[in-house]
Chain A
Amino acid sequence: MMLLLSLLASFSVFSLMAVGGAITLIPEMHHYVVESHHWMSGQEFAALFAIAQAAPGPNVLVVSLIGWKVAGLAGAFAATVGMCGPSSLLCYYVARLWQRWHASPWRRAIERGLAPLTIGLVTGSAMLMSEAANQHWSGWLLCAGSTVLAWRTRVNPLWLLAGGALLGFAGWI
């Protein structure tokens, strides 16, 4: 029970820090579950992230998987509710105000000012996940290849994930 409350409380705090989405929290969540609580290894964390990416639905589901790994189904529920609850409540009320601020120059300033922070956070997450996921040079090569393909072409990410899974299955990674 303490574990569930701890998950709920921690993810509620994370929820209010997730400017730019759940992905920007990866370093913070990694610190929480891998480094300070030792609930899983960095590789397991990377595996859960990969599963969440390969499944349909929003990216935030990685949070549900982390909760599940720590404390089973109830853990998944606690982490998901924590992650979505406070931010959703905030959004519900702000969405009503937002229309009224339509003409405010501060609105544009907030958008402009937070965008670089979001990019910094996503890049930090991407660096951390690359370190956790790529154990050999072949992993780095696959990672670099999929980066370039996803960045430069319009190929469906699902094909890239399928390709990566296949290469791994074949024992090349």
Chain B
Amino acid sequence: MTSSLIIPSRRQLFLGFFSIGLSGFGGVLPLAHRMLVQQRRWLSEEEFTELLGLGQILPGPNIVNMSIAIGSRFHGVAGAWLAVAGLMLAPLVIVLSMAMLYDHYQSLPDVQGTLRGLASTAAGLLLAMALRMGEKIERHAVAAVFALLTLLAVGVLRWPLLLVLLVLAPVSVWLARQRGRAGEKA
């Protein structure tokens, strides 16, 4: 339904990403999907998935990558700037204010306790995210081996990330291509 899609103005682009940034607690992606595809209809479902895939493959924060890709699609360089600025502005101010409050009051036992509870829960949310991503991974022994190798190298052995990526990424992609070839023949 390409015909029903809407091309946002520069102002709408900024305000749209501003509202995504402001209301996305604990990760922005689900909200971005709802707003961009369902409510404002700037992108089709397919385009969203495509851009998300791109944002995830490229290095850098996924949602920042997506806002660059979406902003530049509609309004070039200016669009990319507006989208990123809209996304980051309000959350940056809020998070810095929170951190300053924390710094000022961190010696209070109540604040320390609250932060301890918050930190344990935040770590739990991260573990849950890893589990959910693990469930969605391709069911293939090679994929599982590469996930474990990465975890072992970076999480347990603490090898430098750059080294690990330079070794593992090309091999993993090449093997995925081989699996793809086998799938095409079958």
Partner of A48 from B99, B150, B154 at Cβ < 8 Å: B99
Partner of A58 from B63, B68, B137 at Cβ < 8 Å: B63
* A interface majority secondary structure: helix
Partner of A169 from B21, B63, B114 at Cβ < 8 Å: B114
On A, residues with C-beta under 8 Å from B are 13, 15-23, 25, 27-28, 31, 43, 46-61, 64-65, 68-69, 73, 76, 80, 83-84, 86-88, 90-92, 94-96, 98, 105-106, 108-130, 132-135, 139-140, 142-151, 156-158, 160-161, 163-173
Task: Give bound CA distance, A15 to B148, whole Å.
Answer: 23
Task: Give bound CA distance, A53 to B126, whole Å.
Answer: 10
- Which residues of B lie under 8 Å from residue A61 when comparing CB positions? 88, 91-92, 95
Chain A residue nearest in CB terms to B144? A116
Task: Give bound CA distance, A112 to B126, whole Å.
Answer: 22
8 A–B contacts, CB within 8 A, in A order: A19-B58, A50-B115, A54-B25, A59-B27, A88-B60, A106-B173, A129-B123, A160-B125
Q: Are A69 and B99 in contact (CB under 8 A)?
A: yes
- Which residues of A lie under 8 Å from residue B54 when comparing CB positions? 91, 94-95, 98
- Which residues of A lie under 8 Å from residue B172 when comparing CB positions? 113-114, 116-117
Q: Are A160 and B92 in contact (CB under 8 A)?
A: no
Q: Are A110 and B114 in contact (CB under 8 A)?
A: no
Task: Give bound CA distance, A114 to B22, whole Å.
Answer: 30
- Which residues of B lie under 8 Å from residue A117 when comparing CB positions? 146-147, 150, 165, 168-169, 172
Chain A residue nearest in CB terms to B62? A21
- The A-contacting residues of B in range 61-105, CB under 8 angstroms, are 61-65, 68-69, 72-73, 77, 80, 84, 87-88, 90-92, 94-96, 98-99, 102
Q: Are B116 and A146 in contact (CB under 8 A)?
A: no
Q: Are B69 and A115 in contact (CB under 8 A)?
A: no
Central interface residue in A25, A28, A50, A86, by most chain B CB within 10 Å: A50
Q: Which 10 residue pairs of A and B lie closest in terms of their CB atoms, listed nearest first? A: A168-B117, A57-B91, A87-B60, A120-B150, A124-B155, A164-B121, A146-B124, A113-B173, A150-B128, A113-B176
